[in-house]
């Protein structure tokens, strides 16, 4: 799952309904089965395709609560290594939500790198917004039956960039899993690639999960 469930406050939101249900199911059966949940933060391969960080295709960013709130992220490759690490040391992860991340990012940091590689950085539309406004807007969209990635991303931007839910993990299991964090140079490479090649169409997807 992308985000950790160690913070019970996040369980109240529709986007966490499915993972909360799975977590509750596993915990209720801890006397019969062992389980481990791996929470790696947002996936770097996708987070810049979704409008909760910035809108690459539309050259627009809504900077929320000043833009300096950190958020945990990982690559698919590092997440796979963490899963291998859990399997190699199963007793360390028994009945536990393993928190990992490859690095943290902020909106301002990402936007600064985007402008560095964008041939026309002055063409971006930059707006300032409050997290509670984004959260209310996203929740309203979902309550009205809109389960698009745009609706989910609107809600998630209000959650993540509020800074209230500890989604930049202060405690991680990186060390015992034996996987190092990625460098800022690697993060810059990933963002440069997105600027040059553009976002995927994942942002136009429809959610098929229990978010209602």
Domain assignment of residue 44, yes or no: yes
User: Tens digit of pLDDT for each residue in 151-195?
Assistant: 999 999 999 999 998 889 988 999 999 888 999 999 999 999 999
Task: Say what the pTM is.
Answer: 0.88
What domain count does the chain have? 1
Domain assignment of residue 203, yes or no: no
User: Tens digit of pLDDT for each residue in 127-140?
Assistant: 999 999 999 999 99
SS (H, E, C) the chain: CCCCCCCHHHHHCHHHHHHHHHHHHHHHCCCCCCCEEEECCEEHHHHCCCCCCCECCCCEEEEECCCCCCEEEECHHHHHHHHHHHHHCHHHHCCEEEECCCEEECHHHHHHHHHHHCCCHHHCEEEEECHHHHHHHHHHHHHCCCCEHHHHHHHHHHHHCCCCCCCCCCCCCHHHHCCCCCCHHHHHHHHHHHHHHCCCHHHHCECCCCCC
Per the structure, the complete domain to which residue 83 belongs is given by: 8-196
């Amino acid at each position: 799952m992308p985000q950790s469930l160690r913070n019970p406050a996040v369980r109240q939101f529709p986007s966490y309904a499915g993972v909360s249900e799975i977590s509750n199911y596993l915990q209720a059966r801890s006397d019969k089965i062992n389980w481990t949940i791996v929470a790696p933060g947002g996936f770097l391969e996708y987070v810049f395709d979704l409008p909760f960080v910035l809108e690459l295709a539309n050259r627009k960013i809504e900077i929320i609560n000043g833009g300096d709130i950190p958020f945990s992220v990982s690559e698919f490759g590092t997440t796979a290594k963490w899963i291998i690490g859990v399997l190699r040391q199963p007793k360390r992860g028994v009945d536990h939500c393993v928190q990992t991340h490859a690095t943290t990012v902020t909106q301002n940091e990402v936007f600064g790198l985007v402008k560095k590689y964008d041939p026309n950085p002055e063409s971006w539309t930059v707006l300032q917004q409050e997290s509670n406004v984004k959260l209310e807007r996203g929740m309203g969209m979902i309550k009205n039956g809109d389960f698009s990635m745009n609706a989910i991303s609107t809600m998630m931007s209000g959650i993540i960039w509020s800074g209230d839910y500890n989604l930049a993990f202060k405690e991680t299991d990186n060390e015992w899993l034996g996987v190092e964090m990625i460098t800022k140079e690697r993060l810059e490479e990933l963002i440069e690639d997105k600027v040059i090649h553009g976002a995927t169409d994942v942002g136009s997807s429809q959610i098929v999960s229990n978010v209602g």
